[in-house]
Amino acid sequence: MKFKKEAGFRAYVIILIRRKFNMHVDSVKDLVFGVIGGSALLMYGVELMGSSFEKAAGGFIKKTLSIFAGNLLSAFFTGIFITALVQSSTAVTVLTVGFVNAGLMNLNQAVGIIYGANIGTTITAQLMALDITEVSLPLIGIGYIIMIASNKSLFKNTGRGLMGLGMLLLGLKLINSGVPFLKSDPYIINFFRVYGNNTIISLIIGTLLTAAVQSSSAVMGVTMILARYDLISLGGAISLMIGSNIGTCAAAQLAAVTGNTASKRAAWAHTLYNIIGGMVAIIAIKPFIVLVQLLSPGMPIERQVANSHTLFNVLSAIVFLPVTKYYVRLIENIVPDRKNNR
């Protein structure tokens, strides 16, 4: 009886959407299951890939951070390398906050790693901008074989990471199959034109969505697909990207809630770094768009969006690196020492 009710409800939803969009039932299924199912698979793939690669390289990451993050520049390049390896800036940032909380790293070193982590995580967006979704199923298959063929945790987690990458790409493929049907409805098109291309609204949506799903890469993937099908402009996509950069700070703030003053400073250094860089980019968004287009001649818009993500974080690091000493002092004034270091 319960099964019949659930089946009836699903049929009712499909009929409603079919009437609304005036589509063939197969097109409705592509829309509903493509966009919703694809988005879920994309987010799960990003999470699985990041957590698996993090576990595979866990000991290596801790050793690398403790050995090579000796000064600002080495910490910066270490942040790029480690995040590019595990493909999770959230994991690297949270780990950095933990190191600071334990007294294993000072704020100056932590800031350098944060600069680098923001750049390292852009590799995921660059991968998603490539037209390689056809390799998604082979990647899942290869990853599964590696996972079951070995008893060593390194290989098992590497296999899971490859499966996560495959799921990420498969999710993109499913979303790609569903999004075009959105363009058949004038209300949907008008919604994106009014709200999707509004700089401030896009910024807020990007921030809240990333804070909720805790994956800037997933938000970037959906953003690139919306831009590909002309539902949002390059400017709207860049605003969403900047918002996703800000939204990813939520994890570091949560990690520092029960920490000491030093860990709170590290979390705020990450948050204010992304907010300040984001506000400057929003104010100068028109010249920034021109710069992105100049550096991406003849490239499809999804590649331009991915390049804007990388360029934004590289420029932020270039601006902040020379003034890090003063930035650290600012953070120390914003989060002053407390009694008992609490």
Q: What is the pLDDT of residues 84-128, one digit of tens each?
A: 877 777 778 877 887 787 777 888 888 999 999 999 989 888 888
Q: Would you state the structure tokens that stand for residue 13, as one six-digit string?
A: 């939803």
Phi-psi region of 340 (alpha: psi -120 to 50; beta: other; left: phi over 0): left
pLDDT attached to residue 90: 75
pLDDT attached to residue 273: 94
CA distance 113 to 331: 16
| CA-derived radius of gyration, the chain | 21
pLDDT attached to residue 291: 95
Alpha helices in the chain (DSSP H): 2-21, 25-31, 38-56, 58-68, 72-86, 89-101, 107-120, 122-129, 136-149, 153-178, 186-191, 199-213, 216-228, 234-247, 250-256, 261-283, 285-295, 301-320, 324-334
pLDDT attached to residue 2: 47
User: Which pTM was predicted?
Assistant: 0.78
CA 216 to each of CA 6, 88, 137, 169, 206: distance values in angstroms, whole numbers, following the listed order:
33, 9, 23, 15, 9
Q: Where are the domains of the chain?
A: 7-341
pLDDT attached to residue 266: 87
Q: Would you state the structure tokens that stand for residue 230, as one six-digit string?
A: 């002309």
Q: Which residues of the chain have pLDDT under 50?
A: 2-3, 5, 12, 16-17, 21, 23-25, 342
pLDDT attached to residue 69: 66
pLDDT attached to residue 182: 66
